[in-house]
Amino acid sequence: MKNQQVPQKEQTRTASQVLATTLIRQILDGYYPPDKRMPAEREMAQQYHLSRHVVREALKHLEALGMIDIQQGSGVYPKDLVVNGGMELFEYLLFSDNNEFDRGSLLDLLVFLRLFVPNVMRLAAENRSMEDIAEMKLLLSERALTITDNTSFNATNSQLLRILSRSTHNIIYQLLFNNIGRILTKMRSVVPIEQFAPVIDQHSLEELVHAIEEQDAELASLLTQRLAERSQKMVTLFLKTLPKNK
């Protein structure tokens, strides 16, 4: 049997995105401590063999993410990410600097999902409308027809996640769950569909939607907990089949 390859990020990234990822991981790892001035734009351009324009784009991206403070005439200073960081940084944690899949970040995400998502489904069961249920059932039907088409399947799953979060009728849950939905879509691009599809099967989702329709919050939470635990177990087993990152 041939060794499985470590999944690679599918889309091509620009030079500024690659540099942004490198800098983000360096900040997260403490290479650039909070409030300590980072190298000047010119120094970074020389260090990474890039143009100053590319470095400037990468720094602007970090600034938009709330990771650094660019002070004109003084320099660039990292912020304390324990205070300022958010879920949007996960996109950069999922892959290492050399574009290899970061299994530790995915395992952290699975633990978070196991603890968080059951509470979302509990609230959805309490607050859903019949219009929400109708949309869920329609998307479930579409999901069953697209399970072998990765692109369509991901799109349908994303729509279903949006409806589930909207069913909470709580804006905070919805905004946070939007981030999680994008992350889950990214996970499916990492873990092959034939490995990941059995984790959340159609019947289990139909049971969950039925529990939400019946406003059985306890059952909705329990079913979600089981799905999350199964997902964590299956993905962990999948990771064990991959070669160790160097």
Confidence at residue 240, expressed as pLDDT on a 0 to 100 scale:
78
Name the residue range of residue 109's domain: 102-240
Q: How many domains does the chain have?
A: 2
Claim to verify: residue 79 and residue 140 sit in the same structural domain: no
Confidence at residue 97, expressed as pLDDT on a 0 to 100 scale:
56
| Residue at 29 is within a domain | yes
Distance CA 219, CA 207 (A): 9
Confidence at residue 101, expressed as pLDDT on a 0 to 100 scale:
66
Distance from CA of residue 29 to its chain's centroid?
19
Beta bridge partners of residue 100, listed in sequence order: 8
| Residue at 177 is within a domain | yes
Residue 48: closest CA among 135, 148, 56, 141:
56
pLDDT in tens, the chain (246 residues): 334 444 444 456 789 988 988 898 888 878 898 878 999 999 999 999 999 999 999 999 999 888 899 998 889 999 887 666 666 677 667 766 555 667 777 788 888 888 999 999 999 999 999 999 999 999 999 988 887 787 788 788 888 988 999 999 999 888 888 777 777 766 666 666 555 555 678 899 999 999 999 999 999 999 999 988 888 888 788 777 776 654
- Among the three residues 32, 53, 83, which one is the final residue of a domain in this structure? 83
Claim to verify: residue 228 and residue 106 sit in the same structural domain: yes
Residue 224: how many other CB atoms lie within 10 Å: 26
Claim to verify: residue 230 and residue 149 sit in the same structural domain: yes
CB 57 within 8 A of CB 18: no
Confidence at residue 177, expressed as pLDDT on a 0 to 100 scale:
80
Q: What is the CATH number of the domain that holds 59?
A: 1.10.10.10
Claim to verify: residue 127 and residue 71 sit in the same structural domain: no
| Residue at 234 is within a domain | yes
Claim to verify: residue 112 and residue 36 sit in the same structural domain: no
**Backbone angles phi and psi of 70, in degrees to 5:** -95, 110
CB 124 within 8 A of CB 167: yes
Claim to verify: residue 218 and residue 143 sit in the same structural domain: yes
